[in-house]
A and B are shown apart, each in its own frame.
Chain A
Amino acid sequence: MIRLLAAAIAVLVVAAAGLVAMGLAFGNAVLLLPKVPPSSGMDRFLLIVWPAACLVEVGSAVVCRRWPSRSVSSVEVLLRLVASWLLGAGLLWGSVHLRGEVDWLLLGLWCVAATVVWQVLPRERAQRGVGAAIAIALIATGTLMVVGGWLKGGLTSLPLALSVGLLGWRLQDVTHRGVVIGCGTAAMVGLVSLGQFFGRVSVLQGAVLAASLVTATLLLARRSPATRGEAA
């Protein structure tokens, strides 16, 4: 019986791995993402920056759950600050946006702002609403990129938005949902930055996007107990 169970689990694991591989191959065939070595901002975002941000998110969630104390939370903030800086520097590396000392100063300000967003959103109590709002923001950013003429950038937002939206909604555990929201926040900050710095998404468009995000978050958060994350 145990052997049968082990065999079934092994088959399930192989099947799951196969499905993931097929999904990656399909995604790569459709979206043709990303290129190696990662020379463009989008390639660095998908291959290095976002996975690194997700690792920080998962790591800090594990540490905070095991040792829930204020000092650990401070470590989490520090980790996110460093990750934000790496995220910004990784996205803009080698581009015209990082040529002078002023650019690095602006990058510093950008990473502080990104850390604040990253710190606030996953802590929001209405996490289901936040997950949905982030998914909407990702799709909105992608749409702006497409309208601005960057088709591939816009397409990238779809799998990210679907993953964050669905996982944020379906996961029951608050910590798990927080990790998904954290990863989604990093994806949103990264994609908005890519759109702004490489995709000609204008400041006005960004402002409209931010206002939409806030409105969507508030609406979704107040709409029902389910979006507040109260219903299991």
Chain B
Amino acid sequence: MRCVFAAVLAAAVVATSSFSQAADVYQYDLVHSSVSFKARFLDISWIHGRFNDVSGSFSLDRKDPAKSTFQLTINVDSVDTANEKRDEHLRQPDYFDTKQFPTIEFQSTKVKAVAGGYEVTGDFTMHGVTKEITFPFMGGEEVEKMGAKRVGFATELRLKRSDFNFDPQAIGNIGDEAVIIIDCAGEKK
């Protein structure tokens, strides 16, 4: 009787662990990732910058990709355009207003597998405005290196700042459209 009970318990443990492994959860790897952006300057050149403080997680369900989720949080105060005075101006209410809107966030609501990655739809919140966006998130192949399982994804988003309630006066010299480039790795230890 005791053996039967132990066998049932072991089967339950195995079943539970295999169920929990159905979706692999990876944490955003800050060291091997970057969220950068570029915007037109006077319509003659591009200004480049990046956010240095980003966190997030990806939950990948290989069997049922629709159950996968992607979440990303960007600390806007960490904006870095290699010019401290410009960065300070970008943090102010004329631009990002980081004391009022300290983070840029993305939370997926729908995920679909496509060739070479996923098509992700979700809520993108910036400057206090949430909009649904859809973008291809290419990658997702898992490798096991340096003591962790790793996946990588990449995409480019083209967003209009005017859609996110940015001050129209702050749109002029710096173009309305901003390109956000996400190259990120996730790790599962």
Chain A positions near chain B (C-beta within 8 angstroms): 32, 35, 39-42, 94-97, 148-153, 197-200
B169 surroundings in chain A (CB, below 8 A): 32, 151-152
Output the residue of A39, A149, A197, A199 with the most chain B CB within 10 A. Answer: A149
Q: A96-B102, A97-B99, A153-B94 are in contact. List 14 more A-B contacts (CB 8 A).
A: A32-B167, A32-B168, A41-B99, A41-B100, A148-B92, A149-B89, A149-B94, A150-B92, A150-B94, A152-B94, A197-B99, A198-B97, A200-B88, A200-B91
Residue of B nearest to A42 (CB): B93
Kindly list chain A residues whose C-beta atoms are within 8 Å of the C-beta of B128: 39-40
Number of A-B contacts (CB under 8 A): 53
Residue ranges of B at the interface with A (Cβ–Cβ < 8 Å)? 85, 88-89, 91-94, 97-100, 102, 128, 165, 167-169
Residues in chain A near residue B92, CB distance under 8 A: 148-150, 153, 198-200
A40 and B102 within 8 A (CB):
no
A42 to B128, CA, bound (A): 14
A40 near B97 (CB under 8 angstroms)? yes
A148 and B91 CA atoms in complex are apart in Å by 11
CB contacts (< 8 Å) of B97 on chain A: these are 40, 198
Closest 8 interchain pairs by CB? Answer: A149-B89, A39-B128, A150-B92, A95-B100, A149-B92, A198-B99, A95-B99, A96-B102
Q: Chain A residues near B100 (CB, 8 Å)?
A: 39-41, 94-96, 198
B99 contacts A149, CB within 8 Å?
A: no
A39 contacts B93, C-beta separation under 8 Å: no
22 A-B residue pairings within 8 Å (CB atoms): A32-B167, A32-B168, A35-B165, A40-B93, A41-B93, A41-B99, A41-B100, A94-B100, A95-B99, A96-B98, A96-B99, A96-B102, A149-B88, A149-B89, A149-B92, A149-B94, A150-B93, A153-B93, A198-B100, A199-B92, A200-B91, A200-B92
Q: Nearest-CB distance from A178 to chain B (Å)?
A: 32
| Bound Cα distance A55, B97 (Å) | 29
**Contacting pair A152 B165 (CB below 8 A):** no
Chain A residue at minimum C-beta to C-beta distance from B129: A39
Residue of A with least CB distance to B102: A96
Q: Which of B94, B99, B102, B168 has a CB less than 8 Å from the CB of A151?
A: B94
A199 to B99, CA, bound (A): 9
A151–B167 alpha-carbon span in the complex (Å): 11
Of chain A, the residue at the smallest CB distance from B88 is: A149
A152 near B99 with CB under 8 A, answer: no
**Distance from B161 Cβ to chain A, minimum over Cβ atoms (Å):** 14
How distant is the Cα of A97 from the Cα of B101 in the complex, in angstroms?
Answer: 11
- CB-CB under 8 A for A152 and B167, given A95-B100, A198-B99: yes
Question: A39 contacts which chain B residues (CB < 8 A)?
Answer: 100, 128, 165
Q: Which residues of A contact B85 (CB under 8 A)?
A: 149
Contacts of B165 in A (CB 8 A): 35, 39
